[in-house]
Amino acid sequence: MSSIESVLQENRIFNPSPEFVAQANVSGMDAYKALCAEAEADYEGYWGRLARENIVWKQPFTTVLDESKAPFYQWFPDGKLNISWNCLDKNVEAGLGDKTAIIFEADKGEVTKVTYRELLSRVAKFANALKGLGVKKGDRVIIYLPMSIEGVVAMQACARIGAIHSVVFGGFSAAALRDRIEDAGAVLIITADEQCRGGKNIPLKPAVDEALTLGGCGSVRNVVVYQRSGGPANMVAGRDLWWHDLVAGQSETCEPEWVDAEHPLFLLYTSGSTGKPKGVQHSTGGYLLLAILTMKWTFDIKPTDVFWCTADIGWVTGHTYGTYGPLACGGTEIVFEGVPTYPDAGRFWKMIQTHKASVFYTAPTAIRALIKLGEGHPEHHPEKYDLSSLRLLGTVGEPINPEAWMWYHEKVGGGRCPIVDTWWQTETGAHMITPLPGATPTVPGSCTLPFPGIMAAIVDETGHELEWGKGGFLVIKRPWPSMIRTIWGDPERYRKNYYPEELGGKLYLAGDGSVRDPKTGYFTIMGRIDDVLNVSGHRLGTMEIESALVSNPLVAEAAVVGKPHDIKGEAIVAYVVLKRARPVGEEAKQLANDLRNHVAHEIGPIAKPDEIRFGDNLPKTRSGKIMRRLLRTLARGEEITSDVSTLENPAILDQLKEVVK
């Protein structure tokens, strides 16, 4: 987390070049301001116009926004559409049938391309196969697949028949998968035998098998398995089916299910400040609108672009800018199976060169890791590759430090590509605060200004807007089309989490701290204000990790906090009290290792604590409340200077300074 002072000191400013401005979809600051003014003057008129111009509706809507059940807002409620039709059939009918939709590059480098016509036929066949298995509109389908053309096909096929997909990142464990299957009440799981990453084959299907034995998954009737590598699949007769067998002989046409704009398109589980991950529910129409608009305005997408978003389909970025946005705009996109460091740290740059990528979108953590790896290996440095096809760069997922921004700008963008630092969340569906590359002057480390029509603001703890220069809570003042609709199965949690009474119940609370530049009004994100960590751009709840730790029979109590990390943004520090004496030496080392593996088993390797510290107790107030603030100070290795006289057990602090190496 950066300090307000350092944020407000940044004074480098980069104006979009005249060449970029001249060709941009939103050209110049006046064009940006005109859109904002239009939204300001007639909010519903603005979104209604854009929804009519950008989406092909089966049945046009007459109502733009229904606020009668606020904060359960409804957008375009009487309109009907199908998102898969808008991504595929629309483009084929417009003459783009032979255009490359997806360039897939496998972990080991093999390239496969599919055209819009082929993609439509594959989606239709798979959609028919799903129907054949009895999957109906509104049913939930879990997708646990690697990055692949099949991943996109599976999502599009669900959308085509009105089934609600819930993609689970392949890095989540069987236990995490089980929780999501149960919460969603899924009828079907789509998975692969293995995933190939970094030259290794990592089993996937066994995690599904394990999840289904853990209980609570009685709703699941079938498991569809895509054969990626020929690894062990342990097909269970009567339950498991091969993808290739299912699609064989299916018709290449499939009439889409025309759904209401509010029909749920997907659930995506994300971490909050309490233990259980929440199923963020998105709509069809409003979500599609912002997927398209942000592709056009933030990414300035043109028919000639080759767009590459490196995010996995397991995250919202992979949904909006991997599966839906680029295809809805008739674009050509790259889907990459592997990791940025295999076979070496030049992989991204080599792929940009080979496929002539023009718009590249990745996470600050990847940029920082590649800066570091490139230091000892000049041969993998971006300057060793021909990156002249690039015209625009983007980042997402966490604050980008100005040093990494400058490196990205100079070494990857050759000083000529604008950078869009896009702030958004799983819940917002699409970019909320971001530069528009042909309009907004950029400042390293700032996500600049709201997307036209998004009413972002910074407020104090009572919901009053703060003057620029004062740090506070980031909120969005009016509902927007691609917003979260509810938390699956828990509408009260949705209301309390995002529309808290303390702020008056009408402001969407993002959960981030932010400050606006006193002169420009530019936003800088200061990090989460709740117990959510951002580790390498992955969102993890501290309570989730604590629950995983205390589910180990040896553990009595655990507290998890984050500390700044050069590459990952944040690292996970876990303070653990065992049911037996505090371990030391070799025993502590062994136990710390066991506990890290235990967390990987409960959640996934991404949640493994970087550091474990054992104590006889945790620092608590006399009323028994854990003093997390002190734990954060200790984690950073800083001295505690505040008054600790309210602590029940101040002596414990010395013990907790010790890291198990």
3-state DSSP assignment of residue 371: helix
- Minimum gap (Å) between residue 299 Cβ and ligand WT7: 14
- Minimum gap (Å) between residue 347 Cβ and ligand WT7: 21
State yes or no: residue 195 binds ligand WT7 (CB under 6 A): no
State yes or no: residue 316 binds ligand WT7 (CB under 6 A): yes
Q: Give me the long-range contacts of 301-304 (CB less than 8 A, separation at least 24).
A: 301/25, 301/326, 301/329, 301/331, 301/359, 302/23, 302/25, 303/330, 303/331, 304/358
Please give the size of the binding site for ligand WT7, defined by CB under 6 A. Answer: 22
Residue of the chain from 511, 541, 604, 619 that contacts ligand WT7 (CB under 6 A): 511
Give yes or no for a contact between 243 and 226, defined as CB atoms under 8 angstroms apart: yes
Which helix (H) or strand (E) segment holds residue 296: the answer is helix 285-297
Q: Which is nearer to ligand WT7, 528 or 620 (CB)?
A: 528
β-bridge partners, 532: 541
Which helix (H) or strand (E) segment holds residue 167: the answer is strand 164-167
- Minimum gap (Å) between residue 113 Cβ and ligand WT7: 27
AA letter at 551? S
State yes or no: residue 399 binds ligand WT7 (CB under 6 A): yes
| Residue given tokens 């009440």 in the structure block | 185
- Minimum gap (Å) between residue 474 Cβ and ligand WT7: 8
Residue of the chain from 195, 250, 270, 448 that contacts ligand WT7 (CB under 6 A): 270
Q: Which is nearer to ligand WT7, 80 or 568 (CB)?
A: 568
DSSP secondary structure letters along 551-574: TSTTEEEEEEEEEEETTTEEEEEE
State yes or no: residue 128 binds ligand WT7 (CB under 6 A): no
Give yes or no for a contact between 93 and 85, defined as CB atoms under 8 angstroms apart: no
Q: Which is nearer to ligand WT7, 86 or 524 (CB)?
A: 524
Dist. CA 262–CA 316, nearest whole Å: 18
- Written as six digits, the tokens of 624 are 């028994």
Q: Which is nearer to ligand WT7, 272 or 615 (CB)?
A: 272
State yes or no: residue 397 binds ligand WT7 (CB under 6 A): yes
Which stretch in 68-76, 136-144, 508-516, 653-661 sits in contact with ligand WT7 by CB under 6 A? 508-516
Which stretch in 313-321, 404-412, 489-497, 500-508 sits in contact with ligand WT7 by CB under 6 A? 313-321
Q: Which is nearer to ligand WT7, 228 or 278 (CB)?
A: 278
- Minimum gap (Å) between residue 124 Cβ and ligand WT7: 30
Residue of the chain from 129, 223, 396, 458 that contacts ligand WT7 (CB under 6 A): 396
Q: Which is nearer to ligand WT7, 64 or 533 (CB)?
A: 533
End-to-end CA distance of the chain: 25
- Minimum gap (Å) between residue 13 Cβ and ligand WT7: 18
Q: Which is nearer to ligand WT7, 76 or 522 (CB)?
A: 522
- Minimum gap (Å) between residue 315 Cβ and ligand WT7: 6
State yes or no: residue 240 binds ligand WT7 (CB under 6 A): no
- Minimum gap (Å) between residue 274 Cβ and ligand WT7: 16
Dist. CA 240–CA 97, nearest whole Å: 33
Give the residue from 527, 524, 499, 500 showing the smallest Cα distance to 512: 527
State yes or no: residue 447 binds ligand WT7 (CB under 6 A): yes
3-state helix, strand, coil in the chain (%, to 5): 35, 25, 45
Q: Which is nearer to ligand WT7, 292 or 634 (CB)?
A: 292
Q: Which is nearer to ligand WT7, 250 or 428 (CB)?
A: 428
Residues 411-430 that bind ligand WT7 (CB under 6 A): 421-426
State yes or no: residue 544 binds ligand WT7 (CB under 6 A): no
- Minimum gap (Å) between residue 408 Cβ and ligand WT7: 13
State yes or no: residue 473 binds ligand WT7 (CB under 6 A): no
- Minimum gap (Å) between residue 316 Cβ and ligand WT7: 5
Give yes or no for a contact between 411 and 381, defined as CB atoms under 8 angstroms apart: yes
Which stretch in 78-86, 105-113, 396-404, 495-503 sits in contact with ligand WT7 by CB under 6 A? 396-404
- Minimum gap (Å) between residue 442 Cβ and ligand WT7: 12
Q: Which is nearer to ligand WT7, 99 or 496 (CB)?
A: 496
Report strand pairing: 100-105 vs 332-336.
parallel
Dist. CA 346–CA 652, nearest whole Å: 47
State yes or no: residue 563 binds ligand WT7 (CB under 6 A): no
Give the residue from 155, 422, 160, 193 showing the smallest Cα distance to 312: 155
- Minimum gap (Å) between residue 526 Cβ and ligand WT7: 9
Which stretch in 44-52, 148-156, 456-464, 505-513 sits in contact with ligand WT7 by CB under 6 A? 505-513
Give the residue from 135, 123, 238 showing the smallest Cα distance to 186: 135
State yes or no: residue 539 binds ligand WT7 (CB under 6 A): yes
CB-CB neighbours of 379 under 10 Å: 9
Per residue, the 3-state secondary structure of 204-227, as one string, reads: CHHHHHHHHHCCCCCCCCEEEEEC
Residues 515-534 that bind ligand WT7 (CB under 6 A): 525, 528, 534
Cα-based distances in Å from 529 to 251, 317, 511, 513, 525? 51, 22, 6, 6, 11
Dist. CA 163–CA 181, nearest whole Å: 15
Which stretch in 61-69, 147-155, 193-201, 391-399 sits in contact with ligand WT7 by CB under 6 A? 391-399
Dist. CA 582–CA 216, nearest whole Å: 36
- Minimum gap (Å) between residue 314 Cβ and ligand WT7: 11
Sign of the alpha-carbon dihedral angle for 152, 153, 157, 160 = positive
State yes or no: residue 225 binds ligand WT7 (CB under 6 A): no
Dist. CA 131–CA 161, nearest whole Å: 8
Q: Which is nearer to ligand WT7, 436 or 591 (CB)?
A: 436
State yes or no: residue 512 binds ligand WT7 (CB under 6 A): yes
Residue of the chain from 25, 82, 310, 317 that contacts ligand WT7 (CB under 6 A): 317
- Written as six digits, the tokens of 193 are 């035998």
Q: Which is nearer to ligand WT7, 346 or 399 (CB)?
A: 399
Cα-based distances in Å from 112 to 117, 148, 331? 15, 10, 16
Give yes or no for a contact between 82 and 258, defined as CB atoms under 8 angstroms apart: yes
Judged by the rule CB under 6 A, the positions of this chain that interact with ligand WT7 are: 270, 315-317, 396-399, 421-426, 447, 510-512, 525, 528, 534, 539
